Amino acid sequence: MPGPAPIALHLEKISRRFGGRTVLSDISLTLPAGRISCLLGESGCGKSTLLRIISGVDRPDGGNILMNGNEIVGPNRFVEPESRRIGFMFQDYALFPHLSVAENLAFGLRALSKADQLRRVREIADRIGILHLLDRFPYSLSGGEQQRVALARALAPEPAILLMDEPFSNLDQGLRERVRKETVDILRKLGMTAIIVTHDPQEALAVGDMIVLMRRGQIEQTGSPFDIYDRPISSYAAEFMGPCNRLAGIWSGGSVETPIGRFPALLSLPEGSLVLACIRPQALSIGPDGEGISARIVGKTFMGESEQIDISVHPLAEPLRMHSHERVPMAVGEKVSLLLNGAQVHVFPEPIPASTIDPAADGKLD
């Protein structure tokens, strides 16, 4: 079996403040070489600031950065951006409108002879599949073509690391998925170390070998897509990666007791502790009559490949949400039997939000 990937980048206690506001707080992170890592989080969490610090466009207020084992940022050292061998692809692509595609690609190759510039431009254009665009100007290109040109320009100087800030957000949904797949395929074929900033958890799950989930200037969790989605360490991580039904529970005998069932969890808590259970919508399904929990359908939303079902269960104040890839024939208002898959239940020793129990429930589903 192959060993672990070598380290491309190591960050130690990186901090950044703007005025009196802390944007990054003691960020420590190790990113593998030859892999795609995603910095994921909501707007304002610090992910783009961290990307700028890695690139050298911005300086941290504290901390160290090692690139391939060599210090590029530290208390007494700052390597300028042009000396870091780090490529940067901007969200808006930042193509020079007065230059042809070939001239855009050659812009970062000015240290080479004209002959070597031409050779490298044609080489990278061929790898990205844009040889036919070299004489065109940015205004005449589609969004997908502009994205590929921006990618080729960032790769032309042969960077050791490629940074990409929301690279697919300007594309329409259908085009976004196609261009994203093409881009990821290119990066993997090149063995490129890439860091992609995104606010979209589905995008991070689709492209990242490693996901760094950020929250309020700190790292909430790091791991593979499966780690982050299947084994979230907090309710924030669980809910950010996908919708959840939130239920109050009581820790008892190695399991959590909720109003709709008992679920095991790998926790060590005092008996009787209040906990929070996050139940994925796909953990719920409708079973044969007489099996599972008595419930009632209170809402249905057709979403194409799936159907969203809102289900009322005594004694919960709010309906549970279920996702089904099979057509549910029952109509709104009908009684059903609800089944639960405990594998999609995540339990956290966190404060319980507003009560999930309906105080007016009379003990019957009418």
Whether the CB-CB separation of 153 and 60 falls below 8 Å is answered with: no
The answer to whether residue 1 sits within a structural domain is no
Alpha-carbon gap, residue 76 to 290, rounded angstroms: 71
Query: Is residue 351 very low, low, confident or very high in pLDDT (cuts 50, 70, 90)?
Result: low
203 and 254 inside one domain: no
Whether the CB-CB separation of 264 and 333 falls below 8 Å is answered with: no
Average pLDDT in the chain: 90
The answer to whether residue 62 sits within a structural domain is yes
Mean pLDDT of 255-265: 86
Domain boundary among 235, 259, 293: 235
> Does residue 210 have a pLDDT over 70?
yes
297 and 276 inside one domain: yes
Alpha-carbon gap, residue 318 to 314, rounded angstroms: 10
225 and 264 inside one domain: no
Q: Looking at 75-84, 296-305, 330-339, 350-359, which range is the least confident one?
A: 350-359
Mean pLDDT of 343-360: 63
Query: Is residue 304 very low, low, confident or very high in pLDDT (cuts 50, 70, 90)?
Result: confident
Whether the CB-CB separation of 224 and 209 falls below 8 Å is answered with: yes
pLDDT of residue 2: 54
Query: 0.85 exceeded by the pTM?
Result: yes
| pLDDT, tens digit, 9 for 90 and up, residues 276-287 | 999 999 889 888
User: In terms of DSSP bridges, do strands 70-74 and 335-340 run parallel, antiparallel, or are they unpaired?
Assistant: unpaired
pLDDT of residue 358: 44
The answer to whether residue 38 sits within a structural domain is yes
Angle at the Cα of 160 from the Cα atoms of 158 and 164, rounded to 5 degrees? 90
**Structural domains in the chain (count):** 2
178 and 263 inside one domain: no
CA 84 to centroid of chain Cα atoms: 26
153 and 88 inside one domain: yes
The answer to whether residue 304 sits within a structural domain is yes
| pLDDT, tens digit, 9 for 90 and up, residues 6-42 | 999 999 999 999 988 999 999 999 999 999 999 999 9
| pLDDT, tens digit, 9 for 90 and up, residues 185-202 | 999 999 999 999 999 999
263 and 230 inside one domain: no
The answer to whether residue 360 sits within a structural domain is no
State which residues form the domain around 299: 243-348
109 and 156 inside one domain: yes
30 and 127 inside one domain: yes
Q: What is the CATH number of the domain that holds 124?
A: 3.40.50.300
pLDDT of residue 155: 95
